[in-house]
Amino acid sequence: MKKLLLPLALVALSGCVQVDNYSEVIKHPAPAGLAGYWQSQGPQSEMVSPEAIASLVVTPEGDTLECRQWQRLIALPGKLMQRSDSLYNVTIKREVYDVERQGDTLEYAGMTLRRVDRLTDECADYLEKHPLGQPIDEQDAKAAIEATKPAATQSGGTLGLGGGSNSATTLSQSEGEEESNAATVGP
């Protein structure tokens, strides 16, 4: 009984946000000062390597693109969602991250991002080929979600970028429904 109560208590205290279906999430416009490019500066405990870079693109309309890169690029479109007084980014992969801005610093997914003038070349290339706010093709979404899975089945190791425990909450959703428009670029 104790084994069951502890996880339930942790979930209750963590303030988990749950959304059953990504397509039903109501996109919230970006608050003043949030739209733009945000990027990690230096090593982040949530990234697998000190050389890894995290970027977040936020449009005034509330569309987002999360780019994480180390040996390859993982790009996840999403949208801003407001619940009570809190703002979240919900990725197409049904991960929910709290977004808190203070000046030119953004606390996101357990990382500290700073406002930048331009994206990394890889993230900018992805954004050019996949503009935010466009409808997501279901076949492209399924292929992209497969590309974000670790390469462990092919090479015996992983290239994932989530080195530490992250603050994402994976959302429940039936298999195959708007699975994701995530993309991986690189070897």
What SS3 class is residue 9?
A: helix
- pLDDT at position 117, please? 94
Look at residue 73 and tell me whether its pLDDT is greater than 50: yes
Q: What is the mean pLDDT of residues 90-111?
A: 92
Where along the chain do its domains lie?
16-134+159-174
Bigger pLDDT: 24 vs 107: 107
What SS3 class is residue 22?
A: helix
Q: What is the mean pLDDT of residues 18-35?
A: 88
Q: Taking the CA atoms of 8, 11, 13 and 15 in sequence, report the sign of the dihedral they define.
A: negative
Tell me the percentage of the chain whose pLDDT exceeds 70. 61
Among candidate residues 109, 178, 117, 114, the one with its CA nearest the CA of residue 142: 178
- Please tell me the distance from the alpha carbon of residue 85 to that of residue 92, in angstroms, as a whole number: 22
**Interval 34-67: pLDDT, tens:** 999 999 988 888 888 888 999 999 999 999 999 9
Place of tokens 């007084």: 85
- Please tell me the distance from the alpha carbon of residue 83 to that of residue 169, in angstroms, as a whole number: 14
Tokens representing 156 are: 């015996």
Tell me the percentage of the chain whose pLDDT exceeds 90. 43
- Domain 16-134+159-174, CATH: 2.40.128.500
Model's pTM, two decimal places? Answer: 0.70
Q: Where are the alpha helices (DSSP H) in 72-187?
A: 121-129, 138-148, 152-155
Work out the angle at residue 116's Cα, subtended by the Cα atoms of residues 182 and 113, and round it to the nearest 5 degrees: 65
- Gyration radius from the chain CA atoms: 16
Amino acid at 181: N
